[in-house]
Amino acid sequence: MTMRAIAAVFEKLFTPFTVADVEIDSPGPGEALVQIVATGVCHTDAITRDGDLPFPPPGVLGHEGAGIVAALGDGVSTVAVGDKVVIGWPWCGQCRNCLEGQPRYCLSLGQLVAGGSRPDGSAALRRADGSPLHSHFFGQSSFATYCLCAASSLVPVAADAPVETLRPLACGIGTGAGAVLNRPPTRWACGVHAR
């Protein structure tokens, strides 16, 4: 089963996005369909459009999504339909780094971020004529009214949270918090041993 969405499509390098009607799959096992309430435009989206991050066009970019869970695939118990969520980074959950509690260093991260498909290689997005579009940019492709992502990437937020203002949590704020919380030891300053 598929549903309709509207997306900003990355047609080819160095060109503006085009707004188009697309079809998106229903969530499969371990997946969630999220209605996007807000998404940010990050520098990473711009450099991808300009070829500096190898994501295959045509496809849908966007990796600062926040929204409301619209549907769930089999086996999902960490979120419920109607939950407000921020969409985080993808991770496989099976490699040594994920199993050691370090999903940020997932050994499959490159493919999950810029491979252009679900982890199994299938396309989740199509144009209205049925031709496939690359998806799952940073595990989400949130430049659309709906996105399909791994439920493990969703971070539920309070029911009264203003979800439209939370989208920076997915990238910019997470990056800044990571820099503060995971700073190098105090004996190191700017890569030079401090005395």
Cβ atoms of 86 and 78 closer than 8 Å: no
Which pLDDT tens digit goes with each residue over 80-127?
A: 999 999 999 899 999 999 999 988 899 999 999 999 999 999 989 999
In this predicted structure, the answer to whether residue 190 has a pLDDT above a threshold of 80 is no
- Segment 22-36, tens digit of pLDDT: 999 999 999 999 999
The parent domain of residue 189 ranges over 2-193
Q: Which ranges in the chain belong to alpha helices (H)?
A: 43-49, 96-99, 109-114, 172-181
Q: What is the CATH number of the domain that holds 126?
A: 3.90.180.10
Mean pLDDT of the chain: 87
Alpha carbons 94 and 96: distance in angstroms, whole number: 7
Tell me which of 34-38, 139-143, 153-157, 184-188 is least confident. Answer: 184-188
Overall number of domains in the chain? 1
